[in-house]
A and B are shown apart, each in its own frame.
Chain A
Amino acid sequence: MADNEPVFNEPWEAQAFALVVAMHDEGLFKWSEWAEMLGKIIAADQNNLSYYELWLGALERMIEEKSVLQSSEVEKRKSAWADAVARTPHGKPIELGQDI
C-alpha cells in the first residue's frame, strides 16, 4: 500500500472530518466521547457502509445527543438544500433561497 493514497476520496468526506475536529476544538464534546460514539456506530453497522459514511452517521448522532441542533431544523434545512439542488441549473452555484 503506497504512502500517497488520497487522504479523502471525496470533498464531503473532508468536510465531515473537519466538522468533527472543529466541534471538538470548540469544546462541544470530548475526544473520548467521539471515539466511543464512532466505535458504537461502526460496531452496529449492518450495511457495510464506508468509513466516512459511518463517521457522518456518528456526527449526526453526536449532534442529536448533545442537543446542538434540533432534528426538526436539520430536516427542514436538508429539504431546503434538496430543493435548491433540484432548481439550480448545472454549472451555477447552489444557494439556498429565502425560504429557509
Chain B
Amino acid sequence: METGPFASLAQIRILLIPVGPIRRSAFEKYAGLVRSFGHIRLGDIPPDPREDKNRFIPSPLSSGHLHLSYITHPPPTWHNVFSLFRMSSFPLGFKATLVSLFPPDSPFPFASKCFAFEEGEGNVNLDLGPSIPELVYVGTLLAELCHDILAEFPALVSPTLVLSVNTDQWTKKGQVRTVESAEGMEAIMSRLLPAVSSTTFPSSSNSTNGLSRGGTGVGSHSGASTPQRFGITNAKKRASSVGPSNGRLSKIIGDLCLLAGKLGEANIWYTEAISLFRTQQDSIWNASALEGQCIIEVLEAWSAGDSLHTSLVGNALGDPWANISDKMGQAINLYSRATPTTPTPVPAADAEAASIVLLYTDAVLRYSRFLFSIWSSKGWNPLSISMMLTTGVPTTFLPTDHISMTLSQAHGPFLMHLQQPDQIRIFSTLASLYSCIGFKRKEALVLREVQAAIMDLIVCGRDEHRSNLGRESLSNESKIYLFDRDRDKDRDTGQSVSGALGVRETEDVEGNISIVRLAKCIAEVYGVDIACIRVMDVASEAPTTQGSHPIGPLEPTDMLTGRPHFGWPELQIGVVRETVAVAEALPDHASVVQFSLSTLKTLHKFLTANEQYHLYSVALRGISTLRRRGVNLRAEFWAEAPIVSIEVLPLPLPRLPSEHLRQHLEGHHSKRPSITLPGSPFLYHPAGKKAATSQECCALNFALYQLFILFCGVQVLVQNESIEFVVALRNPYMFDFDIQYLILSTSGIPFHTQPVSVVIPANSQHTLTLTGLALEPGTLIIRGCQLQLAGGIPREFLFPIVDGNRTSLEVSTMPKRNANSSPPQFSHYEVVPQQPLLRIRRSSLTMGALVLYDGEISKIHLTIENISTLPVDFYRLAFDDSTIGPAQQGLADGNLSVAEVYETEYDLVHRPCFQWDPPSQVVPIEPGNKTIITVSCFGKLGCTQGTIQLSYAHVDRPSGPSGIFHTRRITYPLNVTVYHTLECDNLDIIPFKTYANLPHLDTAAFADDRDRSALLGIDNADDYCLVSMDVSNLFGSPFQVSIERHQEDTPPASNTCLILPGSTRRFLLPIKRFTLSSEEVSKAIPTLSNRQFVVAKDRLTPKEELVQRDLFWYREKLFQTISGRWIEPETGRTGTLSLRGQRLSLPMRDALRKDLFPLDLIFQNTPRSLNLACSLVPPTLGEHALLEGSLTHNYVGSLNPTQSAQKSWRVCFMAEGVFEFRIDAVEVGEDGRPPPDREKQMTSSFVTAIVG
C-alpha cells in the first residue's frame, strides 16, 4: 500500500509489469506512455449490454472521470488483509507491454477480477513507436481495460449484496453467509493461486530485469501469508458479531462506486454505512467510510474546477475545508481508539494491531497531505481568486505548525507494530512532508529513523541470509530476500547462493550511496559538515590537488576565532557516531573514513579522548581495508593545520657570510684598520667592531644580526652547506598524531631535503629540526611544509608573511582579506655561493690568555687551517680590545679639551693593542693547507679583553660578475692582563746654563766648568736644556730603563739605569734647544680620527688658545726627540716607556725653546758694569746691592738678524754673599708695547755674582 495522493481511495490501481525479456528503457518508455493517462472520462468507457456486469459500468452520457494510478510492484502480502476493506490499495488491472500468454494471476482476493490485457495489434503499434494517434489508441485500450475491470465489480459484490438484503434481521445467518461468501472468494482464489506459485513463475521473473523481482517475492510469500489472512477474516468475523455487517457492505459498495466514478451513488452508500455504524460501534469501518466521504468531496471539488468558488462562497466565513477537516479528524480519532480484539499473546493480535496502526497512520498522512496541498498551493486556490474580486481578508491562512502537529500524530511508539517496510514508508513520507514545510530538524529526526530502519533490515537480512545459507545447502530452496522492494541493499554482501561456488556479483552500490547520502543530509541539518574531507582516488586527483590549497594555514583559523559554535554539540556527536556506525555496517569504507575524519576535524573540541581515538582508529582501519581491497582511495588532509611556525636557524657567526662591495678590495692594503666610532650611522658594520668584551661582543653581534634579519626580512644562507629549519608542530587531538611524511616546500633555487616522519604526542606541541642543502646560489623561498598523514593525500601548508611579520596562526586570523586580495608573500632567503671555511688550528697563547707588562711589545702566532674545498685568497684582520670602548665613549661625550682629545686619539691610532701588517702578497690558503698569521701586541694599561677577527673570502671566482663578494669571519677572543710596571713622573726642563753655573760640589773632580759640559757632550751651554724625570718601578722585578734622545744635529744620547723594585730613579738628559716657527706653533691641534666634529664645551679666549697650541706643538716636538725603553734583564722582555702622561708647563717650554736673541751676560771687574736690564733675583732681605740705572724699560732698539746691541748697568755690592741676576729681554712692538697678534718673545739670562 503505497502512500498515494489524498484521493488514492478513488483510484483504480493498475500494475504494470513487463513480461518476457524487455529492455528496461523500452519498458519505462511505454510505461510512461500509459501513465500519462491519469483519468478516463466515464463517457469513454464502452457500455456493456450484459445485465449482470453493467451495474458499475457508467451510462454512456454520464459525466465524471475514472481515476487511474499505476504501480510497478505488487503490494506486500501482509496487506492482503485489507482486500475487502480497501480495494483501492490493490491493483485491479494488469497491463503488460508485450504480448504473451501469461496466465492471469494474482495473489490477492480481488485479483480474480483482474484482467489480463492482451492486444496483439496495439502492442505492435506501440513497439513501432507511438505517435499521437497511438496515444489516443492507448487511451481507448485503457478505457476498455477499465470497462473490463468495472464489469467484474458486480461479480464481487452480488453475493454480498444479496446477502445484505437477506440478513437485515438475521444476523447470525448473515455472518455465516458472509463467511460463506468469503469462502466463495477463497474458492475463486484457490482456482488462481496455483498459477502464481513460485514454480511456474521463475522462468519469466529471472529473465526479466529487477522489476519483476517483486513478483517472485510475492509468490514465494503467498503461502506463508495465507494463515494470516485467515486469521484476519476470523477476526473480522468476530468483530462483525457485534452488529450486522450491512454497514460494511454499504461501505464496500460505496468504495466500488467511488472507484467506478459514481460519486453521488457512493456518497449515498457511505452515508448509509455511517448511520449504521453509529449504532454498531464499528469504528474502523466507520472511519473508513468518513474518509471515503472526504474524498468524494474533494473529487467533486476537483471536477467542479474553476467554478468551485461559486459553490463555496456561501460558507466563506469559515475554512472552506472545515467539513473535510472535521470528518478526517473524526476518522483519525476513530482509528486511534481502535483496539485489537484478540488478547495480546496471540500472534494474530500483533498483525491486527499492525493493520490498525497502518490504517491510522495512513489516515493521518492522508490528512496531512491534504493540509499540505492546501498550504503549498497557498490556500484554497479558486477561493483566493474570488477573494481578489471581493473585498475582505482571505480566511484561508494555514500555518505550517498545524500541518506539523497533524503529522506528529502519525509518529509514536505504535509504529513499532508495523512491518519494517511499512515503517520505512511512513517515516519517509513523514520526512518528505516535514521537509516540504521547511521543518528541517524534524525531517532529520525522522530521517534518522528511516536510516535506522533500513539499516536494521540490512543487518537482519544479512543475518537471515547467512543462516539461510546453511539451510539452503540442504534444502536447495531459492533464496529469500526479506525485503527487496526498491532498496535491495543486501546485495553488497557480495556473495551469491546460487550453487556451491562463491560467485562475486557485480556490486550494486546505488543503495549504499543513497543511505550515505541520507546520512550526510541528516548531519548537515545538525550542522556537521560530515563530508568536509574529501576522499578521492589518488591516481586521478593527486596532480590537481597539489596547488588547490594556496592559503593553507589561513583556512583553519576559523576554528580559532571566537565565533560561537553553531548547533548542539551533544546531538552532533551522537549523529556522527551513528553515521559512522551506519557506514561501518554497510560497509562503506570510504564513507567511514570520510565521516570519521571530517568529524575529527570539525568536532574534535567536543569529543572525548576515547571517542577521538575511536574515530581515528576506525578511519585508519577503513583506509587499510580499502588498500587491501586494491582501492587506492586517499583522504584529504584532515587535521587542523598542525604547523605553528617554520623558522630558519640563523647560521652560527663563524659561518655567516657578510656582503662587501668588490671595490673595497682595492683599499684593503691600508696599514691600519679604520676606527669606527659610535657615531657611525651604520648599524651593522662588519669591518669595524663594536667595543665590548668579546662575549658581549658576540652577543651584541648576534642581537644585531637578528635585528637585521627582522628589518630586512632576508636571511643569508650558504650554498652546499646544511641549513637547519625549526618547525613547530601542534597536535590538538587527544591521541598521538602520526605524520608519515613531512617535507619542506620550497621554491626558487633547487633545494635538497629529506622527508621525515614524526609522531606528535597527544595534545602538545612538538618541535622538529629539518635540514637541507641549497644546491645553487640564488633566492630560496620557503613556502611552507608538505604533510601527509597515514592514507592521506599530501597537502601543502603555506606560511606567508603578513605585513612583514612572520605568519603564525594567531597573527593570520585578522588579515584574511588582505591575503586574499594579493598573492601571499613568503619568507625569502638569500643563498650565496659556496664559501670557504677556515678555522684556527692553534695559537701561541695558552688558554687564549695574554699577559703583558705595561708598554710591552710581543707577538702572537695563529695557525689557520682551511677546512673547505675552496681556497682562501683574501683575508684580513681586525682587532678590538677593552680600552677602545671607554676611549671612544670619552671622545663621544665631548667633555675633553682639545689636547686631551688629541691624546686619546693618539692612543687609539698610534698605540693600538693589536696590530697586524698584512703581507704585501697574499698567498692563497689552498684547501687543507695551513698558514700562520702573526699579530703584534702592545701592552696597554687597562686592557683586559681583546678580540682578533679574521675575515676571509674566496674572491677570485670564475663566475663573479656582480660587484659583491662575501666574507666570513673567525673571532678569536683573548683575555689580556697588563701589569703596571714602570711609572714616569715629574718631568722638568731647566736651562743647562743654570746647571752649568752651579758650583761643583766636588771641585777636585771638576776643576773647570767646561768639564761638565764636555761630559754631556755639550759645546755651548746656552744651546741646551736639561730634561729630568723620575721613573719608579712598581713591579716586583728589576727593569733596566733607558731614556734616549734622537735629534738631528746631535749625536744620539741616552741615559740607562737599572731600577730595582720599589725604587725611583731620576733621569737627566740634555737636549738641544729648538725653536718652532710661529706658523708651526699657531696651527690648530689636529684630529687624528674621522670623528664627527664636536663643538668644544669650554670656550677659550684667543690668547689662551694661542698658549695652548704653543705648548702642544713644543710638547709634540719634545716627545719626538726623546723616548723611553725598558728591558727586563731576567727575561729579556722589552717595551717602551710612555712619556706622554707628562705635561709641559710654560717655564719648561721657555727652557726648551731656543732663545730668539741670546743674551750674553757677564760681569766685568773693571769697570763693573752690566749689560742690559738686570734684576736681582731673588731679592733677599739683608743683602743689598746698589744698582745704577733703570731696572725696567731699557729700550734697546730694533735689532736686525745677526745684529747685536749692548747695554750696561753699574752695580755696587753692599754686602757679602751670592747675588744672582736675571736679565729678561722682551720683544716689543713699534710703540714699545708687545705685538698683539702673538705671544711676546722673551729671553732670560742669569748671572751670579759671589761677593766675598
Do they bind each other? no
